[in-house]
Amino acid sequence: MIDKLPPSADGPVGQLPPQDWMQAAETRVVIAALTAEGAEVRFVGGCVRDALLHRPIRDIDIATHDPPERVMTLLERAGLRAIPTGIAHGTVTAVVHKAHFEITTLRCDVETFGRHARVEFTSDWAADAARRDFTINAMFCGPDGMIFDPFDGLADLGAGRVRFVGDPMQRIEEDVLRLLRFFRFYAHYGRPPPDTAALAACRAQAHKLPTLSGERVCGEIMKLMQAPDPASVLLLMQGERVLAEVLPEARAFGRLRILAFLEERGVVRPHIAPDPLRRLAAVLDVDRDAAAAVAARLKLSNAQTHRLVAMAAPERMPDPTMDAPAARRALHRIGAERFRDLVLLAWAERKAATGRTPPGETERWNVLLDHADAWAPVNLPVHGRDVMALGLPRGPKIGTVLDEIHRWWEDGDYRAGRKEALERLRELVARD
């Protein structure tokens, strides 16, 4: 990962090579503003961890000695937008163009009540690292790339060990969300076997999970779902009696495993990205009501709820023997996005159930996805007013005629244009 430096008490352990995200103009102006009067700042958490693994950086967290009010002043003085996100907890967000930087004053916990820890600001980097959750999340990196690693996170990262900073029982007692974070980070960074002390602490405190808000549980589940193989971690959670407390409806582990495999391996064309909501739908074993209940519990938006219910408890599933007109009928009914979801889920379901794919079937599923890509929404080229213009009075008969012409248009694979459709309409009206 990096060239190691000789050990010293609290000095750097190595140096990251130049990083695009650190050299970016946005990052440089924020660092320049924060250090204008000599303060020492360091990158911390996810960006350091992911840079060490050469993974893409999502958001940038920065730690500083300065108290939040001073951070606000320094940013504003440099002409940058500063938002007092959580000023009491020491967090200020700097916004430069589209980039967001979370700047947090070094803290140490003095008392903790669940997530509402009473914190004090400190100038001690090690104390700040000690209140972070996992060793791999407690590393700092100076603007020059120097890595500081007070809890041996580097070795854990290399070995795929997700380890709590301090005693797992106590750290989960302080904040039970860390229990879910453990499985989320294990899914993304861990290699078996998982840390035994952590698992024992998770199992012992799983009963506290229902005290968490739906939003926070949802955030962790969605992030877990984005891991390469979420199914095996959900199975681990089930074994530790954790899953029953947050997602008892998750039972279709095989379907989720295959869906993730299809998405990750690009067996499906590359533009089909891993989708956490689709993955959630894949693992649920539910009817419509139960799917809606999961969505309500996780506080999903209306759009997400509709999509989850439509995926987890569909009225009809695509099947690989569907011909082109049948695929287009389904596309017309539910739209390309929903159809694509259902093709992937049906494909995963079938592969999970049969264990192997009959010859030619992969090709047929891909053809269905091609239809979805090629689909452009179409509208029936005639309307109620056309029927009335032919002399039919307002009333239920209009609806019957429209249904009939719709069926005719569908049977013709949506090819008929307005002219042909009007002709057909005349025939229908004349016939009655």
Among the listed residues 10, 37, 59, 337, the single contact to Mg ion using CB under 5 A:
59
* H runs (alpha helix) in 313-414: 324-334, 336-354, 361-374, 384-389, 396-411
Q: Does 223 bind Mg ion (CB under 5 A)?
A: no
Nearest alpha-carbon partner for 41 in 17, 61, 59, 62: 62
Q: Which positions from 179 through 198 interact with ligand ATP, judged by CB under 6 A?
A: 181
- Cβ distance to ligand ATP smaller for residue 105 or 137: 137
Residue among 42, 45, 164, 387 that touches ligand ATP (CB under 6 A) = 45
Distance, CA of 188 to CA of 194 (rounded, Å)? 12
- The residue among 195 and 349 lying less far from ligand ATP, judged by its C-beta, is 195
Which residues, other chains included, contact 340 with Cβ-Cβ below 8 Å and sequence gap of 6+?
Answer: 272, 369, 372
Q: Considering the rule CB under 6 A, would residue 305 count as an interface residue with ligand ATP? A: no
Nearer to Mg ion, 59 or 427 (CB): 59
The SS3 call for residue 99 is strand
CA–CA separation, 178 and 343 (whole Å): 36
Q: Which of 79, 129, 83 is nearest to 106 (CA)?
A: 129
Per the CB < 8 A criterion, the answer to whether 181 and 210 are in contact is: no
Interaction of residue 61 with ligand ATP, rule CB under 6 A: yes
Q: How far is the CB of 214 from Mg ion (least distance, A)?
A: 21
Q: Which residues inside 203-262 make contact with ligand ATP, applying CB under 6 A? A: 223
CB of 45 to Mg ion, least distance (A): 6
Cis peptide before 377 (omega within 30 of 0): no
Which amino acid is residue 216, in one-letter code?
R
> What are 43's strand-pairing partners?
62, 141
Q: Which C-beta is closer to Mg ion: that of 203 or that of 223?
A: 223
Query: Using CB distances below 5 to 8 A depending on partner kind, what does residue 132 bind out of ligand ATP, Mg ion, none?
Result: ligand ATP
111 binds Mg ion (CB under 5 A): no
What residue type is 267 in one-letter code?
V
Judged by CB under 6 A, the stretch of 57-65, 89-97, 106-114, 365-373 that binds ligand ATP is: 57-65
Please report how close the Cβ of residue 209 comes to ligand ATP at its closest, in angstroms: 14
Between CA 62 and CA 53 the distance in angstroms is 19
Q: Is 153 helix (H, G, I), strand (E, B) or coil?
A: helix
Nearer to Mg ion, 40 or 50 (CB): 50
Question: In sequence order, what E strands does 185-234 have?
Answer: none
65 binds, among ligand ATP, Mg ion, none (CB under 5 to 8 A by kind): none
Is 177 one of the binding residues for ligand ATP (CB under 6 A)?
yes
Q: Does 229 bind Mg ion (CB under 5 A)?
A: no
178 binds ligand ATP (CB under 6 A): yes
Q: What is the CA radius of gyration of the chain?
A: 28
Residues that bind ligand ATP (CB under 6 A): 45-46, 58-59, 61, 132-133, 137-138, 175, 177-178, 181, 223
Residues that bind Mg ion (CB under 5 A): 46, 59
